[in-house]
Chain A
Amino acid sequence: MTETVERPLARENSVGQPLRRKEDARLVTGRTNWTDNIVLPGMLHMAVLRSPMAHARITRIDVSGALQRPGVVAAYSAADLGDANGSIPCVWPVTDDMVSPPHPCLAIDEVRYVGDAVAVVIAADRYAAADALEAIDVDYEPLPAVVEMPAALAEGSPLVHSESGTNKCYTWEFGGGDYEAAKAKADRVFTRHYVNQRLIPMAMEPRAVVANPTGPDGEITLWSATQIPHVLRVLLALVTGIPENKIRVIAPDVGGGFGSKLQLYREEVLAVVIANRLGRPLKWTESRSENAQVTHHGRDQLQEIELAVTNEGKILGLRVDLTANMGAYLHIITPGVPLLGAFMFNSIYKMEALSFTCTGVFTNTTPTDAYRGAGRPEATFAIERIMDDLAAELGVDPLELRRRNWITHEEFPYTTIAGLEYDSGNYEAATARAVELFDYDGLRAEQKARRERKDPVQLGIGVSTFTEMCGLAPSRVLGSLKYVAGGWEHATVRILPTGVVEVVTGTSPHGQGHVTAWSQIAADALGVDPSAVQVIHGDTGTSPYGMDSYGSRSLVVGGVALVQAAERVVEKAKVIAAHLLEADAADLEYKDGAFNVKGSPGSSKTIQEVAFEAFTAHNLPDGVEPTLQANSTLDPSTFSFPHGTHLCAVDIDTETGMTKIRTYVCVDDIGKVINPMIVEGQVHGGLAQGIAQALFEEAVYDDAGNLVTGSLVDYLVPAAPDLPHFTTDRTETPSTTNPLGVKGVGEAGTIASTPAVVNAVVDALRPFGVDDVRMACTPERVWRAINDAGSKGGDRAAEGTVAYGGATTESTAGGQGDGIEKTGGQA
């Protein structure tokens, strides 16, 4: 019974260690709890009949045929559900006059995109439900559909929502400084048009829901493959009218989301409403085809971007005019996604003025919403593309052009033209390290040699020096942007009677590894081993408060809340320990999980001993409540601003147009790192998704509004063999705005990599007179860009016939080279 036996050796900090993920053994051995694995007694299955047309009036709908089919229990159209049909709300009305049309769960009288839900069948099994869909009779009267944004905005366009009288959803304006004044001072005005194509998030696990209405006291439980169980519960209560306290939402194992599960979906509402009506559990699992067609899409912006610059390449002002595709309906934050980018077009650069306008447009296509990076990849793409294009125009090295404009490390904290205060960063250091790892000068020399000998394989080098705002978000800022919720996060820390630690978090991991990282944070804060920490999440029954996981927020908001809660536990324990040790609390120090009386070795209490005392409550100081636990609800004071330098080298086979990434180097600065292995994984996955946008992925609709890339045969998601070896490194400039010194990393790779790759492709092709290639930079587009100078961006059709307009360079009067409008003091 000597004290020393119980005393652990001085522990090493867990934070910073590449601890193996606690989650993985279970996940990789298949002992998982996906929503679709759930089987409940008496469970029914739902199948959804979807519109085969992009726009049509439903003149007749009759579900009675389905009811005759074997195994069918019920079938409903919108009319059958009546008020219970509900409407999906948009929680981000970005302007007072935004057009926000109804978004009923089952279409009422009119369908507005291919895949729009028309009716449902409920049957004893999945097969019976799917078969019975064919027995539902629907008469459609086709209406003209509009697919492309310019067409939708043109006079006389068919209207997606005729009652609105327009396809324009909103125009949102923002800025800083006086752009016209900056332009008047500038030597040159450089305008570019880029297309940020539509993407399909394609999480590995499609969506699935199980609703069980047979809970105690009328409670209904919804299991959903969602990123946002907490937000979902609130929204379900608002939409269905079921009291919030009667709804429990559980996100069990969730296989990826990337924003596509940051949503309230029609099937979630329908499952709850219909399960309640029938009094039986109900399951719906999305097929991969439905996933491509009706789970929200991402990106889809036409970007006009203009820089007012001096002849030395100093940026004076930036003007951005976006057109953003909303799709056929507004989902929960559809209109707000481009706004998340509004603050990021100026990126790491100093300037006097910013003018930003975004117009949201309805089309007869799948609704868009957040997709990994949400607004910031679009912004980073446009600014980093134009920086490389401007460098080429001015004959300056693209890194040098950036150096002339970026915020230097001595200038932090720095308030940008968009009004954000960047707390910390060191763009010089990250860039210097990336240049070294990349052998920038060596590759430039090789590029020159290959150009000179007209090698059929040309080398291109692309740069992206990005920053982003994440850690969503200070609630007041969200309020000022008219978002209807806050951005705080909640944590509870409990030390149980037996001395193990329970952490309850309001974040909702779906692949990121929070259980491991939170264990490491709690372990260090409490001085225990990470294996003694249990992390509870994703269930409104056991973690009642939370704002969930998206926007690289979990660590910088939820992790910091956890630290605070742990500190409060230690504070309380200290009072109890002082009492037990008959010492003054001020004389106690807390180290390695034990309170010691300063200067009196041997006189100590472990936190586990204190927890047991708090449990028995036999001997607590007056006024101290039993149990050892504490909460924290943390509202972040600001955003987090990770940054980094990404360099990409591509080989382009100019005979076929095939692009191969040869070298990819990224040096990211995400402040302090909790678990470097998890960070590496986030960076790799992020790079894969950003590179996918540059080279592979593109959602394509035909003129009639059919999704042509509706399967993985045509929507090309790259896999390991298609991606290069990534050379990754980090610089570490701790954030000064949170006690952990951390910044977000969940989206950084995706945000940074897309322009690095496209810049490399364009760089390789500049000797051929090419100044843009539309994403995805397919071999065909690259080949056309090389061989058909008129094909702007490498598209097939001649300019003007491509409804999207392609990427073009404005050449205004007096301009010498393409894209340069000379004003003011000409060179």
Chain B
Amino acid sequence: MIPAAFDYVRAGSVDEAVRVLGERGEDAKVLAGGQSLIPLLRLRLSYPEVVVDVGRVEEMHGVREDGEHLVIGAMTTHAEVIDSDLVRTHCGLLSEATETVADPAVRHRGTFGGSLAHADPAGDLPAVALALDAEFVIAGSGGRRTVPAQGFFVDYLQTAVGADEVLVEVRLPKLGAGWGHRYEKFHRVAQSWAIVGVAAVVHRSNGSIDQARIGLTNMGPTPLRASAVEQALSGADVSGIGAAAEHAADDTSPASDLGGAADYRQHLARVLTRRAVSAAAGG
């Protein structure tokens, strides 16, 4: 439980971090809250030669408004997200889901950006980012680019962030009146990871659902959108939720592991989607 030796660089700015990453390439790793990276180092499952700590990069911290968007710095901790009134008001799904992450100690170190960049399929926030239609601002040697949520999660523990890039911030469209949300996390003890999670935001007008976005946690190597459910819900009223939720496991390929076999996870996805959407729709 002792990491192999590595060099440590504390970056003062995004540019400095990007420069070091560019020089050291695959041998370098960004260090955010360390709640995923440090265990990997300690178990010697990861052997970076240099760790680039972005914890002191001012612009990567905090939550701000930018017109119709909330902008959350990648280094904003889970605890800060939970405490943010802006997040609670405009993206309540994120507050709700972040409260279920790990335990208070982990939430005071672990970061929003770190969770997304790490992209653990059992992590709660990737599916939430999908449901919230997040945009990811990534800095590299060639400047900054913005990647939509649908293009961000590439494969198991793999995102659009390249080895020489840094995730700077995440932009979330504010959800206004008429939107409801629910994160249904299914896990066995309070501080454990999700076996399956369902993140739902639902917009109702005139009694029926006109928009729903649903993210699935741990239903495959990457977080997924439950598109078939979303389509089935469009224009439906609450009585149609049960039938729509039956599609929650369509086109999913969850793992079979200690947490549950694939068929059980697919069953859970259907049950939890029904519950999440019903709650989000206020029904």
Contacts and interface: CB of A to CB of B under 8 A. Distances in A.
B2 interface: yes
Given A127-B5, A721-B190, A779-B260, 19 more contacts: A131-B2, A655-B271, A656-B268, A656-B272, A696-B189, A713-B193, A716-B188, A716-B189, A717-B189, A719-B189, A722-B190, A778-B188, A779-B188, A779-B195, A780-B261, A783-B264, A783-B267, A784-B264, A796-B261
Interface in B39-89: 43
Contact of A130 (B2, B192, B193, B267): B2
Contacts of B264: 780, 783-784
A392 to B, nearest CB: 27
Given A700-B258, A780-B260, A126 B192 contact: no
Interface string A487-526: 0000000000000000000000000000000000000000
A39 interface: no
A131 B4 contact: yes
B79 to A, nearest CB: 17
Contacts of A131: 2, 4-5
B1 interface: yes
Interface residues of A, number: 28
B258 A656 contact: no
Contacts of B5: 127, 131
Nearest to A698: B258
B145 to A, nearest CB: 34
B189 A718 contact: yes
A686 B126 CA distance: 38
6 contacts: A130-B2, A709-B258, A719-B189, A719-B190, A722-B190, A780-B261
A570 to B, nearest CB: 51
B205 interface: no
A716 B2 contact: no
A656 B271 contact: yes
Contacts of A796: 261
Contact of A288 (B1, B188, B271): B1
Interface string B207-238: 00000000000000000000000000000000
Nearest to A288: B1
Contact of A289 (B1, B189, B267): B1
Nearest to A708: B258
Interface in B172-200: 186, 188-193, 195
A207 to B, nearest CB: 14
A415 interface: no
Contacts of A714: 258
Interface string A644-678: 00000000000110100000000000000000000
Interface in A270-297: 287-289
Nearest to A47: B2
Contacts of A656: 186, 268, 271-272
A713 B186 contact: no
A718 B272 CA distance: 23
Interface in B1-38: 1-2, 4-5
A799 B122 CA distance: 30
Interface in B119-159: none
Nearest to A715: B258
Contacts of B1: 287-289
A344 to B, nearest CB: 30
A783 B268 CA distance: 10
B257 to A, nearest CB: 9
Contacts of A722: 189-190
Interface string A177-204: 0000000000000000000000000000
A133 to B, nearest CB: 10
Interface string A715-749: 01111011000000000000000000000000000
- A696, A709, A716, A717 pick with most chain B CB within 10 angstroms: A716
Interface in A771-799: 778-780, 783-784, 796
B271 A713 contact: no
Q: Which of A656, A722, A784 has the largest count of B CB atoms less than 10 A from its CB?
A: A656
A721 B186 CA distance: 15
Nearest to A714: B258
A292 to B, nearest CB: 11
Interface string A567-587: 000000000000000000000
Contact of B43 (A289, A655, A700): A289
A131 B3 CA distance: 8
User: Nearest 7 CB-CB pairs, A to B?
Assistant: A287-B1, A721-B190, A130-B2, A722-B189, A780-B260, A780-B264, A655-B271
Contact of B188 (A126, A696, A708, A784): A696
Contacts of B261: 780, 796
A719 B188 CA distance: 11
Nearest to A653: B271
Q: Which of A130, A709, A780, A784 has the most CB of B within 10 A?
A: A780
A713 B192 contact: yes
A713 B261 CA distance: 17
B260 A716 contact: no
Contacts of A126: 2
Contacts of B267: 783
A722 B272 CA distance: 20
A311 to B, nearest CB: 41
Contacts of B190: 719, 721-722
Contacts of A779: 186, 188, 195, 260
A114 to B, nearest CB: 15
A653 to B, nearest CB: 9
A55 B125 CA distance: 41
A719 B260 contact: no
A766 B249 CA distance: 30
